[in-house]
Structure 1
Amino acid sequence: MSVLADASRDALSEGGALASRLDGFVARPAQQRLTAAVAEAIERRGVLLAEAGTGTGKTYAYLVPALLSGLKTIVSTGTRALQDQLYHRDLPRVREALGTGLRSALLKGRANYLCHYRLHQAKGDARFASPEQASQFQRIVAWAGRTRAGDMAELEGLADDSPLLPQVTSTVDNCLGSECPFWDECFVVQARQRAQAADLVVVNHHLLLADLALKQEGFGEILPGAQAFVIDEAHQLPELAASFFGEGFGMRQVQELGRDSLAECKQTTGALAVVQAPVRALEQALRELRAAMEALPPRGTRYRALTLPAVADGFDVLADALGALEDALAPLAQTSPGFDACTARARDLGERLGRWRDGGSASDSFDDEAADDEALLDAVVGEGGGDDAARLAAAAARGGEVYWYELSPRGFRCQRTPLDVSAPLRQHRERSHAAWVFTSATLAVGNGFHHIGHKLGLFDPDTLLEPSPFDWPRQALCYLPGNLPEPNDRRFGTAMLDAVRPVLQASNGRAFLLFASHRALREAAAALEGGPWPLFVQGRAPKAELLRRFRESGNGVLLGSASFREGVDVAGDALSVVMIDKLPFAAPDDPVFEARLDAVRRRGGNPFRDEQLPQAVIALKQGVGRLIRTESDRGVLVLCDPRLTGKPYGRVFMQSLPDFTVTRRIEDVRVFFARM
């Protein structure tokens, strides 16, 4: 064992540095094994793939060797919330316990920082939908005068989706870079300067991938010179990487271009007369295109969208409107950095739209003659896929990208997504000559790492599987209700709720009910309304607010969908039941996922075994992980999908879960809660 591994184990041992200096710290053998493996990988610049079940203490396990190594280290987390927790809570504790003076920095994407220029523009042209918005804007203005970091997370009570955020933060599209009159005061520049000088930098996956995908954002390399990378919540990385290594544009980007172009007119005499008409034409083109897209499914392929003449014509009109705006802005580009940036944005959006509309080159489009090959159609349509699936298969067979769209209530997004990101991830990793540690509580399927290893582009990495150290047979019970119909049976929803109600009565609420679809969630909420337990339903309030109310209620029932399967931590008595209605297989209407399945099929693989099943197993493990968060938690997991016992693949799911006691008797559930 290496010197670093020995030192890391000692620090996390009974009587070690952390036990001596941190109240409540308990030495865990699993944590010591994990920290030794991380240290070995760091010291020899290797690659480690490690699953550490809930309760292992993986954050301390990788922070200790990272700090003791003295190497420049990038730690990447799955969400901004986890990033803040790691930087503001976990890292200071470990650094103080170790007595190290290494410098650390927190770095987020530019949209998380106040932009002085955008705030200045908004002050002069602020329009608010309500008095509450106007009041919040004044809070932002007051805070802007005293903040040192400019991190919007400092503003409590400002929702993540607040319409004020785009008005006071910048994006890669609208940032003026070094031409900005507020460059010397820029919070993004200052944050990146601190990161350049730090020994350990905490980022999130979005920023890490922006760097890996060479999206320089006008600042050059974001994360230079790292000698070690620790990727926490690594199961999220492949899906996020697909969007970063692709390309897209959306209705909101085009709308913001129009608004910013008009806002710049205040600075230049006569500009409004030139810009106003093309902006109005652009806005009209967007409205008409979005109206035409109402006839489309919520998600689908580019081919499906453009087969509707009104939609195809709408994209043509939008392209012409972007071109007209670019022509109008071009003579004004020399008058201000803002107009120069708007001109470049109009050109870039027009080019992105053109590439998406034309489907890229013949080698990666699925709309050329190869898509109509009779053998290909027979192979795919014979499995019920239809014309869209045939074209997806053609794209997959030629290597590799799918062009698709997605509708939101008031907008749309068009995207080009690669089907396999393992090659670029591997290239970036090898080029770095750094140590790479990939860890999460949910990486393995059964006891193997083949699925996630393939997606991350890892060839024969070191692996470690540390199950959760909690006493699952004592702390938890897994209840599989009997006699439920198949999930696609119209009677399933009613039968599932009939099976769950006795559990809620035994637990007095205190439950998460997690659903595979929003429709099932809404139907369950309607059925449970007016019952003895307070209901907290996803969509009726922001996620953080729902969780706060749920914790405070004492006996609430929270109904959520996939977004509540991970990143949610409710410890203690407030949560004693997690119910999952169906095995979380990916939605069949996802064009990217469908294309991946066809790619597997074309390679001679088995789409269900190689893609659908592993992804669903990992998603189920995430949901199960909400139940037991500490050594003192106790609770019941209710899995309502009869395929767990009725299908051979159900064993793969059960083998991937903690070592529960499993029952099919509601009496055992009642006894479990009676003993609590």
Structure 2
Amino acid sequence: MNKFVVVDLETTGHSPLKNDKIIEVGIVVIENNEITDTRTTLFNPKIPIPPFISNLTGISDRDVEDAPLFNEKADKIVDIFKNSYIIAHNVKFDLGFLNTELAANGRDRLTNPVLDTVELSRILFPQAPSYKLGQLAEHLDIHHDDPHRALSDAYVTAKLFLKLMDKLKTLPYETIAQLLKLEKLFISDLHEILSNRIDELAFATTAPEELTIYQGLAFKEATETKIETPNLNQSFGEYLDGIYETNGSMEKQMKGYEKRTGQREMSELIFDSFQANSHALIEAETGTGKSLAYLIPAIFEAVKSNQRLIISTYTTQLQSQLLEEEIPALRRLIAIPFQVALLKGKSHYISLEKFAYELHDSSNDNYDIALTKAMLLIWLTETDTGDIDEIQLPSSGYFFYHKISTDAEGKVEPFSPWYSKSFYQKARRKAQKADIVITNHALLCTDMFNDYQFLPAYEKVIIDEAHHFEETASHHYGMKLDYNNIQFTFNQIGRTHDGKLFSKLVSSYSLTDVDVPLEKWDHLFDQAKYEIDDLFQSLYQYVVSQHKNNKLLSDIGRLQYRLDEEKETGQTWDAIQEMVTRLTFFIRDLIHVLALMEQHLTKKKIMDKYDKEELDGITNTFEDFIDRLELFFFIEGNVPHVKWIEIDTKGTKNVVYLYREPAEVSELLANDFFQSKKSVILTSATLTMKNSFDYIQKRLGLITDRLITKKIASPFSYKNQVQLLVPNDFPDIKYGNIDDFIYATCEAILSLAEITEGRMLVLFTSYDMLKKSYTLLKETIDTGKYVLIGQGITSGSRSRLKKNFQTFDHAILLGTSSFWEGVDIPGDDLSCLVIVRLPFQPPNHPVFEAKSNLLKEAGKNAFMDLSLPNAVIKFKQGFGRLIRSSSDRGIVFICDARIIKTRYGKYFTDSIPDVPISFNSTQELLDKAEEWF
């Protein structure tokens, strides 16, 4: 079949079952790889078009009043689709609407083979930043004249389909053959297309040059570059002059570069710290250009001393920025050659060996796994790194990925043919030879707490986004265990005859009860599963009963409860501890059965390498569960720890999460890190409170000896770019007027939205308050004009919500904790920032409560030494969302009058750049905002 018909519909809503109707059809016909025909028509839906749809599509009731009814054109539409594939961007949506309308008008439903360009794009362009039609078109350089109109969308989809077919033609025989095995689980009917391509490739003698074919898998093998040994004769001053002064070279090499006074000062300070073997705390305010400021001395120092230097970031977003923007620009600016490597933990890298093995087994494949396998097959022909962060897998695809990450592969001996092909081993080799190794805080802390065995040796390190360093260290010194994870793992392992991991091992070797006590396995397995359910249900009920009067919700709406060893007494707690003991006994007995199985198979010399890895993996997982349960319920340890439980009150009655973290990491960091390294540079836009580094210095365990501190001011003109507005007439929340306060906040948001035309980010400290505000705004807002996006309510990750916010001209985004930082929305996309409450941690937050108690025991003031500095640093992060360049302008509206009325309010205002502050009635502030804009 060589005819492809692309269809796109505009409709009155999302569901034909709710009587939504088609208002426009766009059709594009493709024959012999060329667009041969286009058709479009409006339809009268006989129902009003909602304002939101009119806003989105530009189609109004007036446009369709003289348009034909669907019934009048139905036969012509059916005729166009004869003997063709039906293509759409989300084919279930368009075909579902068409078939509902055809059936309602007495016509047969269309049963053509279908091709879904969303699915095909996910498979064939696995590294695309998004699969929305507009963003895909931009990514693939397809011109889109009139988004959200049927013919324009159909035309772009047709162009996209042709690009997809071109991509298919670049793939080797092995990859197409593997896709053909997975095809039956796809939405798209690809069998004929893939089979034809296989026939064409059958006579090709070689694979594309840059690809390696091994054991049925095609992948790109990155070449390891030969490293020159540079000769660096310059002084650091000459080197800086070459970068900053020579013919305005910075401006030429870096798009949008603005000269920043503090940047060179920061570079010199870091270089001085390296020479003096000192540690440094450097706060570089927004606009300093701190990434370049530390990269410049880091490269010089590493090359000059011939000693590698580590740079650690908290977010992968910053790592990408360093590798894709700053470092390439510096290569063009700096005459000396230097080598940079990115190194992450084993779990980030795909294991080719494990993936090749898993491709042979499709017994447990569902749609998500088939899609994941297909995406990985294409990605392996493109990736140089094998780093899974390069692509976005479907959500349950990550469970499959964990089975094939390098972390899951056990020890690979250097003589194995897979060893030389391993992405992780290549990344390690590259890091060993590099001048600069970029990593993340998580791996830096894992390395630190495991006797420095993961990263190549180093003496000097730069830690960016350093306000997260204490928190990351706490997580890595702690533990987490949750019901979903333990249940999922048990379900993957399974019983003797249910087709899961254990069952496969049994059937592979035709094991019987004589060889291994299989009946005992099933009995123990069922008992363990029963105990898991019982334990987590009991924990759920325990938290609910302890929380009757004290509801503490996390920022994603979970109920939190801190365990206090002295308080947890009585029959219920004793019963819970007995359940844990029983569960660990059952798991130990399961480990014993696995040991007998391994002994039997080793003695017979019949055990396959992969099966041994599988067996060892199950044993290690079980041992890890026992360790975590004992750490949480029984072991105290010599460092004070805080333990807490979170429950998901919206889920089933056993969705429970257990956490354990050290209450204090300063001593651990001082002994294990700062004392053993020559120079640690910690930098961030938010390290000080009222220009003092005392708080962060104490939290990290940095002693004043061998420490340099410096604050680099922002080059932005905040006085001219920002207005900070605080209303003096909001209800005081202290007197229980929460609903009144939320109502006043929502009224202010709506009034400000009119002035700024949306483009507003609203930051909450409480998920509960966000949810109530969202509900109230949804009832009162003009949904035809504004798009309302709520974190935890609107589906999608943080970056997806941010992208949606930027896609619409008039949008309001409500966010909690993760939106207070790391979200860059430059330019006109963001004009107004609303901070609902000052970001104090709830006093009964588990970790916060434990840290407060330790301070009180030491005779310190928990509010001044912990609560206030924490809140100020978070406030500074939130404030920093608004101004991202010298041309940005905007308003910060703070609903919390404590910033003006209380004695400690000055700590907040004195910790941000000097901006005009107005404290007045809401109406006067709104008038001022309107006048200012």
Q: What TM-score comes out, normalization by structure 2 length?
A: 0.64
1:506-585 alignment, distance < 5 Å: 506-529=755-778, 530-531=781-782, 532-539=785-792, 540=794, 541-585=796-840
**Secondary structure in structure 1 of the residue aligned to 2:647:** strand
Q: 2:589 aligns with which of 324, 328, 345?
A: 324
**Secondary structure in structure 2 of the residue aligned to 1:360:** coil
Amino acid aligned to 1:513: V
Partners of 2:647 and 2:761 lie apart in 1 by 29
Partners of 1:66 and 1:515 lie apart in 2 by 38
Partner of 1:370: none
Partner of 1:420: 664
Q: 1:405 aligns with which of 635, 645, 651?
A: 645
Amino acid aligned to 2:764: F
Partners of 2:716 and 2:630 lie apart in 1 by 54
Partners of 2:393 and 2:687 lie apart in 1 by 34
Partners of 1:14 and 1:471 lie apart in 2 by 27
Change (3 A) 1:325 1:518: same
Change (3 A) 1:174 1:323: farther
1:263 CA drift (Å): 1.8
Partner of 2:73: none
Q: Which range moved further: 309-318 or 171-180?
A: 171-180
1:270 CA drift (Å): 4.3
1:661 CA drift (Å): 0.8
Q: 2:393 aligns with which of 139, 158, 164?
A: 158
8 Å contact kept, 1:422–1:455: yes
Q: 2:400 aligns with which of 160, 167, 173?
A: 167
Partner of 2:330: 94
Partner of 1:454: 698
1:421 CA drift (Å): 1.0
Q: Which range moved further: 296-305 or 54-63?
A: 296-305
**Secondary structure in structure 1 of the residue aligned to 2:259:** coil
**Secondary structure in structure 2 of the residue aligned to 1:439:** strand
Q: Identify unmatched segments of 5+ residues in structure 1.
A: 365-398
Q: 1:244 aligns with which of 457, 467, 476?
A: 476
Partners of 1:191 and 1:611 lie apart in 2 by 40
8 Å contact kept, 2:644–2:659: yes
Partners of 2:880 and 2:683 lie apart in 1 by 15
Change (3 A) 1:9 1:589: farther
Q: Which protein, 1 or 2, shows the higher relative CO under an 8 Å CA cutoff with sep ≥ 6?
A: 1
**Secondary structure in structure 1 of the residue aligned to 2:876:** helix
**Secondary structure in structure 1 of the residue aligned to 2:827:** coil
Amino acid aligned to 1:325: L
Partners of 1:67 and 1:566 lie apart in 2 by 28
Partner of 2:464: 232
Change (3 A) 1:348 1:622: same
Partner of 1:196: 432
Partners of 1:312 and 1:26 lie apart in 2 by 61
Q: 1:292 aligns with which of 526, 529, 538?
A: 538
Partners of 2:586 and 2:317 lie apart in 1 by 39
8 Å contact kept, 2:315–2:440: yes
8 Å contact kept, 1:56–1:468: yes
Partner of 1:176: 410
Partners of 2:926 and 2:688 lie apart in 1 by 29
Q: 2:447 aligns with which of 208, 211, 220?
A: 211
**Secondary structure in structure 1 of the residue aligned to 2:885:** coil
The structure that has the greater radius of gyration is 2
**Secondary structure in structure 2 of the residue aligned to 1:169:** helix
Q: 2:260 aligns with which of 16, 25, 28?
A: 28
Q: 1:643 aligns with which of 887, 898, 910?
A: 898
1:77-156 alignment, distance < 5 Å: 77-120=313-356, 122-123=358-359, 124=361, 127=364, 131=367, 134-144=370-380, 146-155=382-391
8 Å contact kept, 2:540–2:656: no
Could you give the per-residue CA deviations for residues 252-307 of structure 1, whole angstroms, max 9, x where no partner exists? 55345432574255244246946555444333332222222222153333446775
Partners of 2:578 and 2:694 lie apart in 1 by 45
**Secondary structure in structure 2 of the residue aligned to 1:480:** strand
Change (3 A) 1:126 1:406: farther
Partners of 1:253 and 1:114 lie apart in 2 by 21
Partners of 1:230 and 1:480 lie apart in 2 by 38
Could you give the per-residue CA deviations for residues 595-654 of structure 1, whole angstroms, max 9, x where no partner exists? 110000000000001000000000111111100001111000011112112211111111
Would you say how many aligned residue pairs link Structure 1 and Structure 2? 631
Identity across matched positions, percent: 28
8 Å contact kept, 1:49–1:462: yes
Change (3 A) 1:25 1:355: closer
Partners of 1:82 and 1:126 lie apart in 2 by 40
8 Å contact kept, 2:369–2:400: no
1:416 CA drift (Å): 3.1
8 Å contact kept, 2:369–2:397: yes
Partner of 1:500: 749
**Secondary structure in structure 2 of the residue aligned to 1:201:** strand
Change (3 A) 1:671 1:592: closer
Partner of 1:465: 711
Partners of 2:618 and 2:237 lie apart in 1 by 53
Partner of 1:312: 577
Change (3 A) 1:428 1:13: farther
Amino acid aligned to 1:526: T
1:228 CA drift (Å): 1.9
Q: Which range moved further: 241-250 or 432-441?
A: 241-250
Could you give the per-residue CA deviations for residues 112-159 of structure 1, whole angstroms, max 9, x where no partner exists? 222335535654256466x4664344222333355332111222x436
Amino acid aligned to 2:660: R
Partners of 1:116 and 1:278 lie apart in 2 by 34
Partner of 2:889: 634
Could you give the per-residue CA deviations for residues 324-367 of structure 1, whole angstroms, max 9, x where no partner exists? 22112112335412212322332233133223221325xx5xxx
What is the root-mean-square deviation of aligned Cα atoms in Å?
Answer: 2.7
Could you give the per-residue CA deviations for residues 488-510 of structure 1, whole angstroms, max 9, x where no partner exists? 43221112222332222111110
1:466 CA drift (Å): 1.4
Partners of 2:526 and 2:356 lie apart in 1 by 24
8 Å contact kept, 1:173–1:345: no
Q: What TM-score comes out, normalization by structure 1 length?
A: 0.87
Partners of 2:720 and 2:749 lie apart in 1 by 22
Partner of 2:616: 340
Partners of 1:411 and 1:121 lie apart in 2 by 33
Partners of 2:538 and 2:741 lie apart in 1 by 36
8 Å contact kept, 1:113–1:169: no
Q: Which range moved further: 294-303 or 91-100?
A: 294-303
Partners of 1:260 and 1:84 lie apart in 2 by 37
8 Å contact kept, 2:789–2:813: yes
8 Å contact kept, 1:235–1:440: yes
